[in-house]
Structures are given as C-alpha cells and as structure tokens.
C-alpha cells in the first residue's frame, strides 16, 4: 500500500509504502508533464537508493533528495503507523 505524504511547489507528489519486514520503505515521486505524461522516480530508505528515474534532471533529484533527507524520520515513522493521516497529532 502507498500512502500520500507531500505535494511540492512544482506539483511533484511524494508517496511512501509501509515499512517492509527488512526495514526498507519505498518512496515514489511523480509529477505531471504535458509531453511525457508523468515524470517519476523511486527512492528507498534507509539507504537513499534511487532507481527508475524518468524525466527528472540531476538537479531536481538533488532537490528531492534534500526534501526526503529532511523528512526521512517522519516517513519512517508514518510507514509504521499507516501513513500521515493515521499519525496521532497531525
């Protein structure tokens, strides 16, 4: 299951999975694009491994990495609790 996490100012949506038994969490980014339909990328926590990057520049991925790094503690917690909507106090 994937849970919504955040929409950035460039309309990039960030969603994340539940935490897997091995402690990994899949983060998926997607942004609409008039020419390509969608640009997308996948990042795995906790090792910040990127794969399946399509349509995003290196600069954009670097920016998204900063966002993910600064919120990884929240994503990891929410991945255990059923997403941000299930988290107490939000």
* The model's pTM: 0.89
Into how many domains does the chain fold?
1
SS3 58: helix
Q: What is the mean pLDDT of residues 4-22?
A: 96
> Does any domain span residue 90?
no
CA nearest to 56, candidates 72, 47, 75, 43: 43
| Beta-ladder partners of 31 | 39
Name the residue range of residue 43's domain: 2-83
Residues in the chain: 90
pLDDT in tens, 49-66: 999 999 999 999 999 999
Decide if 30 is inside a domain: yes
Residue 54: inside a domain: yes
% of the chain beyond a pLDDT of 90 = 87
Do β-strands 25-33 and 49-54 pair in parallel, antiparallel, or remain unpaired?
A: unpaired
Q: Is position 89 within any domain?
A: no
């Amino acid at each position: 299951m994937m849970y919504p996490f955040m929409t950035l100012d460039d309309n990039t949506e960030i969603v994340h999975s539940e935490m897997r038994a091995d402690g990994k969490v899949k983060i998926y980014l997607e942004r609409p694009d008039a020419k390509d339909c969608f640009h997308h990328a996948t990042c795995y926590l906790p090792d910040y491994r990127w794969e399946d990057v399509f349509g995003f520049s290196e600069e954009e991925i670097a920016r998204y990495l900063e966002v993910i790094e600064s919120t990884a503690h929240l994503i990891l917690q929410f991945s255990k609790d059923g997403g941000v909507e299930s988290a107490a106090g939000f």
